[in-house]
Amino acid sequence: MTEITAPKSPVTADQFADEIREQLKYAQNVTAEQATAADVYVAASKAVRNHLADAWFKTQADTVNGNTKAVGYLSAEFLMGKQLENALLNAGLTEQFDKAVEALGFQPKDIIDAEYEPGLGNGGLGRLAACFIDSLASLGVPAFGYGIQYKYGIFKQTFDENGKQVETPDYWLNNEEPWGHIDYNRDQKVSFGGEVVEENGKKVWKPAWSVRAVPVDYLVPGYASGRVNTLRLWTAKSYDEFDLLAFNRSEYMDAVKPQVKAENISKILYPEDSTKVGKELRLEQQYFFVSASLHDAIRVFYPGQDKPDLTTFPDKITFQLNDTHPVIGIPELMRILIDEYGYDWDTAWTVTQKTFNYTCHTLLPEALEVWPASLIGELLPRHLEIIKKINEQFEDELKGKGIDDKTIEDMRIYTGDAVRMAYLATYGGSHVNGVAELHSQLLKDVTLKNFSDAYPTKFTNVTNGVTPRRFVKLANPGLSDLITEGLGTDKWISDLELLKGLVPLAKDDEFVKKFAAVKAANKHAFVGFAKDHYGIDVDENTLFNTMVKRLHEYKRQSLKILLVISQYAALKNGTLNAEEILPRTVFFGAKAAPGYYLAKMTIELINNVSKVINNDPDVKGKLAVYMLPNYNIEMAQNLIPATELDEQISQAGKEASGTGNMKFALNGALTVGTLDGANVEIREKVGAENFFLFGMTVDEVEKLYADGYDPAKYYEADPRLKQAVDLVANGTFSNGDRNAYAPLVADWLTKDWFMALADFSSYADIQAQIEKLYRDPLEWNRKALLNVANSGYFSSDRSIEDYLERIWHTGPLA
């Protein structure tokens, strides 16, 4: 007997159909007969939202009145993905919904698909925030996600006829959006600019302009916890909608200027740019959402109190800083406590330090935000003063610890002309964590070494995780059913370590064959998805080999495309005979930051390699390559379950964690990867024999840098690599134009900062192992199943439990 514990609402399908009809009639103002799929989507979303309302109110009340410290997750990005299916799952209404929409004459899938995916994040960091708030709610921990409701999310990516990336704005609010509720009555005022004056011996900030921060609330339903938390995304509005004087002078454009200036703040998500800094609007965004959120938390936890005792603030809520983006919250809380509530510096500092913790998501020094002091001074003059004073206190503290002047200089938060946000976060909070074991170790040993020496107990690790609800249960229903069958229970959905119970089943050939059949069905389904969405004909009788993530040199999409080119060349040369050839389909998905030249050129190259290979009759049925446009959560949910081989091939010591790697392992793909980020832990858990490892280690990379790296040597030494680079250089993928990729080729041969060429040989060599194993489907699938069985650790529920224990020191509501 299979034990089913998934939530199930007592509402019947008929009742739910009536609720949808009611929404259609009174909210959408269409009859059931007139309704389109888009209407039914909105109506069903509102109906399911209503089902969550009582649990939401109760959770809010318990959060404020209970004695459990809440978590505030401050993040500039929440990459949520589509909401309806997840809300139905957590409300226990999936089956009723399916029947109800069928009764209304629709296919459930068409209604789910009618939702427009919000793209309020760039990649891993934003998706992690979304997984974390899902897990917090599912564990019953009182929590708020705080961020920005951008009008325009991450750009939409298409390719022009030359294969170049084209970015178009993503105006995701073009249609009715049923999930967010704008609450004009819980607004906050956020001010900027002006000057600081002394009045009666007190510093007083006289700002020059203000915007109105209005919250838009999203429900965050937990799975089987009965709890619904809040994601509060701020939108910027102007206080003076309209300058009537200017309007009367017929200066129409000027009349709306204040509105435009204010509303610009939440207009657009910055596409991740790890190299450029100094964007005024970005600092405005950061301060905007952080200031509004801190004030909001005070409003929530001290309702109606003019003189709240804010020394208890850190007992009410702990704020996690998701990377450096919200770090301006540290001086802002100091300012609130001192200027708005009259606390002395030391009390304010104690409260502030207790309130914040910082998660770092990078190892690239250029990705740690550093703001010009002049910019902070202009935009937030009072904060700059506070930062300077924090820095003075910090330097004194370091002197007191006997640290030498040179080291103190290296550690300064305020350098005289810049403010280092990572250092401010490290000093201003209680804990600092990296996002995988290796990453946290490297933070301590390299990136933040001086800080870890001075404050060793601040540093800890919390390895990332992903939510099993979205990325297994919803994305892979076939595998979910098989897991439930194998374990005899569906409890794994909220206790992912139970997947371990599948380990013995890897010895059962019949079960392994069922597992293989699920993968085959997922591949088949993806062929349909690819046809519908991209108009391509994918051959499902090939190995599905995927590399999806942001385009970045350190992630080394170049290494993968060079390998593909060398495989193509081997097929063309006849170096491989027909029996040796393992038919493969390679899928890439990646957005490049719009200003990132080499990344964009790599996309263009992949597209043109794809054109040549896919149109070459000599390799038909043996090799195909696709650069799928606009990689997003929806694509991930469809492609990951269909993938058999996943690429995690960053240079060792560069990928902080990776979370795609976890999603693939949980969905039964084998990984080919380097010893980087969370790959290290994945390999440990799933077993070295179930992971294709290649490439240099962190130490080997360091040694090679130190010895002087010359990529041309590697090019000369491996004929496979030489041939691949030569084919790019000689115009094979650019209609004979030898200049098309010259900058890329020159970079590979003279610089290759992330050492793709040095790792090429071991990467090419391991392919033989991959191909050999794939020819034995039973053994391949046994290993893939063991990946699933041993990846329960990578649930974001486990990550949150680690945060609770190591950093937040709180837990579920009673």
The two tokens of residue 591 are 């957005």
For residue 757, what is the enclosing H or E element?
Answer: helix 756-774
For residue 692, what is the enclosing H or E element?
Answer: strand 692-693
Of 266 and 464, which CB lies nearer to ligand NBX in the complex structure? 464
Give the Å distances, CA to CA, from 376 to 210, 409, 422, 428: 16, 21, 15, 18
Q: Which position has the token pair 């957590």?
A: 90
> What is the closest distance, in whole angstroms, from the C-beta atom of residue 118 to ligand NBX in the complex?
16
The DSSP code for 626 is E
Q: In the bound complex, which residue of the shown chain has the CB atom lying closest to ligand NBX?
A: 124
Question: What does the alpha-carbon distance between residue 621 and residue 645 come to, in Å, rounded to a whole number?
Answer: 18
> What is the closest distance, in whole angstroms, from the C-beta atom of residue 272 to ligand NBX in the complex?
4
Q: Is the dihedral of CA 471, 472, 478, 481 positive or negative?
A: negative
Of 360 and 408, which CB lies nearer to ligand NBX in the complex structure? 360
Of 694 and 794, which CB lies nearer to ligand NBX in the complex structure? 794
Question: What does the alpha-carbon distance between residue 65 and residue 136 come to, in Å, rounded to a whole number?
Answer: 18
Residue 336 in contact with residue 329, Cβ under 8 Å? no
Among the options 21, 383, 555, 720, which is catalytic? 555
Q: Is the dihedral of CA 15, 17, 20, 26 positive or negative?
A: negative
The two tokens of residue 357 are 């913790």
The DSSP result for 273-321, as a single string, is -SS----HHHHHHHHHHHHHHHHHHHHHHSTT-SS--GGGHHHHEEEEE
State yes or no: is 361 an active-site residue: yes
State yes or no: is 51 an active-site residue: no
> What is the closest distance, in whole angstroms, from the C-beta atom of residue 755 to ligand NBX in the complex?
18
> What is the closest distance, in whole angstroms, from the C-beta atom of residue 79 to ligand NBX in the complex?
9
- Give me the sheet containing 623-628, strands edge to edge: 623-628, 584-589, 543-548, 645-648, 670-673, 692-693
Of 136 and 569, which CB lies nearer to ligand NBX in the complex structure? 136
For residue 808, give the nearest of 429, 439, 496 by alpha carbon.
429
Among the options 361, 458, 470, 783, which is catalytic? 361
> What is the closest distance, in whole angstroms, from the C-beta atom of residue 251 to ligand NBX in the complex?
37
Residue 676 in contact with residue 549, Cβ under 8 Å? no
Among the options 426, 659, 671, 732, which is catalytic? 659
The two tokens of residue 701 are 């990379």
Of 366 and 765, which CB lies nearer to ligand NBX in the complex structure? 366
State yes or no: is 663 an active-site residue: yes
Strand partners, 189: 212
Dihedral pair phi/psi, residue 461, rounded to 5°: -120, 140
Among the options 46, 549, 654, 683, which is catalytic? 549
The two tokens of residue 763 are 């990467």
Q: How many CB atoms lie within 10 A of CB 195?
A: 12
For residue 780, give the nearest of 385, 499, 509 by alpha carbon.
509
Among the options 51, 591, 663, 798, which is catalytic? 663
Q: Coil, helix or strand for 575? A: coil
> What is the closest distance, in whole angstroms, from the C-beta atom of residue 74 to ligand NBX in the complex?
14
Of 20 and 125, which CB lies nearer to ligand NBX in the complex structure? 125
State yes or no: is 261 an active-site residue: no
Amino acid making up residue 408: I
Residue 417 in contact with residue 374, Cβ under 8 Å? yes
Of 124 and 145, which CB lies nearer to ligand NBX in the complex structure? 124
Question: What does the alpha-carbon distance between residue 550 and residue 500 come to, in Å, rounded to a whole number?
Answer: 31
> What is the closest distance, in whole angstroms, from the C-beta atom of residue 270 to ligand NBX in the complex?
6
> What is the closest distance, in whole angstroms, from the C-beta atom of residue 453 to ligand NBX in the complex?
24
> What is the closest distance, in whole angstroms, from the C-beta atom of residue 367 to ligand NBX in the complex?
6
Torsion of CA 92, 93, 95, 101, to 10 degrees: -170
The answer for residues whose C-beta is within 8 angstroms of residue 477's C-beta and 6 or more apart is none
Of 331 and 653, which CB lies nearer to ligand NBX in the complex structure? 653
Q: Which residues bind ligand NBX (CB under 6 A)?
A: 122-125, 128, 272, 274, 361, 367, 435, 464, 655-659, 677
State yes or no: is 426 an active-site residue: no
Of 570 and 656, which CB lies nearer to ligand NBX in the complex structure? 656
Long-range interactions of 36-43: CB distance < 8 A, separation 24+: 37/106, 37/110, 37/111, 37/113, 37/114, 38/114, 38/175, 40/101, 40/104, 40/106, 40/111, 40/114, 41/84, 41/111, 41/112, 41/114, 41/115, 41/178, 42/176, 42/178
Of 51 and 555, which CB lies nearer to ligand NBX in the complex structure? 555
Of 560 and 782, which CB lies nearer to ligand NBX in the complex structure? 560
Q: HSE on the CB side for 572, CA within 13 Å?
A: 15
> What is the closest distance, in whole angstroms, from the C-beta atom of residue 659 to ligand NBX in the complex?
5
> What is the closest distance, in whole angstroms, from the C-beta atom of residue 129 to ligand NBX in the complex?
9
Residue 654 in contact with residue 554, Cβ under 8 Å? yes
Q: How many CB atoms lie within 10 A of CB 405?
A: 10
State yes or no: is 549 an active-site residue: yes
> What is the closest distance, in whole angstroms, from the C-beta atom of residue 361 to ligand NBX in the complex?
4
Of 318 and 657, which CB lies nearer to ligand NBX in the complex structure? 657
Q: Is the dihedral of CA 630, 633, 634, 635 positive or negative?
A: positive
Active-site residue set: 361, 549-550, 555, 659, 663
